[in-house]
């Protein structure tokens, strides 16, 4: 009997995160309803040794996340594929929800999962406030797929880095509208990531945007994903979300100041690679 869920985790020097990422699946692994596949990009720390001690499958392949994810999918036997980053922790209640939905009479073809970012203070609250506006929009990224659908569309585009989530969303939504948004949360543990490292990460991904633009051109979705109007204004107002802005003016102000700072880094990096 095949498991319901194959969890695929690409890693690169994630010894501080991998155990916490795998922990929520321990019981499901024992029951045989889940498998966990770690695909490591030749870490120089103890990531693979830790993965081996956790009783999960593990492989080594690179050079980037899309290749790792696709390789993990090629080894998976679950009905559904769930893609996580190593610094993410799926809440137990969310795992139960996903399994229930996958086994329901009318299961979704793919799912978005709400994210919550770990941190203390007003800035952390503002980041989670910001993230809540992106759920199931073109800025978000599907994380759960029927394996048959994933294989049908060809998986992640290995020529893309940083924008592969947007790309696969577009290809999934071109063949099915049967997608859902979770009620439960996925914890994104970025507390080990300094502001400097976060900005460097944003700048690196911004440098890869041109590959995505060459593939999709300057159509309506691309303009929303990359343009200032949607990213800085409309995504916070559409579909009645402006009510949330009115209810939380301080969080909105802090969020926008941080958005401006990150946006400046993104634009500088993007322009330098044109």
Residue showing tokens 């799926």:
90
Check: CB of residue 142 under 8 Å from CB of residue 82: no
Looking at residue 168, what is its pLDDT?
Answer: 98
Q: List 116's β-bridge partners, or say none.
A: 187
Could you tell me how far CA 256 lies from the centroid of its own chain? 22
In the chain the domains, ranked by start, together with CATH numbers, are: 5-192 (3.90.550.10)
pLDDT tens digits for range 217-262: 999 999 999 888 999 999 999 999 999 999 999 999 999 988 887 7
**Cα Rg, the chain, nearest whole Å:** 18
Looking at residue 209, what is its pLDDT?
Answer: 86
Check: CB of residue 143 under 8 Å from CB of residue 83: yes
Looking at residue 266, what is its pLDDT?
Answer: 60
Output the tens digit of pLDDT for each of the chain's 274 residues: 688 999 999 999 999 999 999 999 999 999 999 999 999 999 999 999 999 899 899 999 988 899 999 999 999 999 999 999 999 999 999 999 999 999 999 999 999 999 998 877 888 899 899 999 999 999 999 999 999 999 999 999 999 988 999 999 999 999 999 999 999 999 998 665 455 566 666 666 666 788 999 999 999 999 999 888 999 999 999 999 999 999 999 999 999 988 887 766 666 655 554 5
Q: How much is the pTM?
A: 0.91
Question: What is the C-alpha to C-alpha distance for residues 131 and 91, in angstroms, rounded to an integer?
Answer: 17
Q: List 271's β-bridge partners, or say none.
A: none
Question: What is the C-alpha to C-alpha distance for residues 235 and 81, in angstroms, rounded to an integer?
Answer: 28
pLDDT tens digits for range 10-29: 999 999 999 999 999 999 99
Looking at residue 64, what is its pLDDT?
Answer: 87
Question: What is the C-alpha to C-alpha distance for residues 114 and 140, in angstroms, rounded to an integer?
Answer: 9
């Amino acid at each position: 009997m095949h498991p319901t869920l194959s969890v695929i985790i690409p890693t690169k020097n994630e010894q501080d995160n991998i155990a916490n990422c795998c922990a929520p699946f321990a019981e499901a692994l024992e029951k045989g309803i889940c498998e966990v596949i770690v695909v490591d990009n030749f870490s120089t720390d103890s990531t693979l040794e830790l993965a081996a001690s956790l009783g999960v499958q593990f492989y080594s392949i690179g050079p980037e996340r899309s290749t790792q994810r696709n390789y993990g999918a090629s080894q998976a036997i679950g009905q559904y594929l769930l893609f996580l980053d190593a610094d993410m922790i799926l809440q137990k209640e969310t795992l139960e929800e996903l399994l229930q939905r996958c086994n329901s009479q009318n299961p979704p073809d793919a799912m978005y999962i709400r994210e919550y970012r770990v941190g203390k203070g007003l800035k952390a609250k503002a980041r989670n406030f910001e993230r809540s506006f992106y759920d199931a929009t073109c800025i978000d990224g599907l994380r759960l797929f029927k394996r048959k659908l994933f294989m049908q569309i060809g998986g992640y585009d290995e020529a893309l880095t940083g924008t592969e989530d947007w790309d696969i969303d577009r290809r999934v939504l071109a063949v099915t509208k049967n997608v859902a948004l979770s009620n439960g949360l996925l914890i994104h543990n970025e507390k080990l990531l300094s502001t400097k490292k976060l900005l460097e990460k944003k700048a690196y991904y911004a440098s890869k945007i041109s590959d995505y633009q060459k593939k999709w051109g300057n159509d309506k979705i691309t303009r929303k994903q990359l343009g200032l109007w949607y990213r800085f204004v409309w995504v916070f107002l559409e579909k009645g979300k402006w009510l949330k802005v009115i209810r939380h003016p301080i969080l909105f102000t802090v969020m926008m100041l941080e958005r401006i700072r990150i946006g400046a880094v993104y634009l500088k990096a993007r322009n330098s690679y044109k």
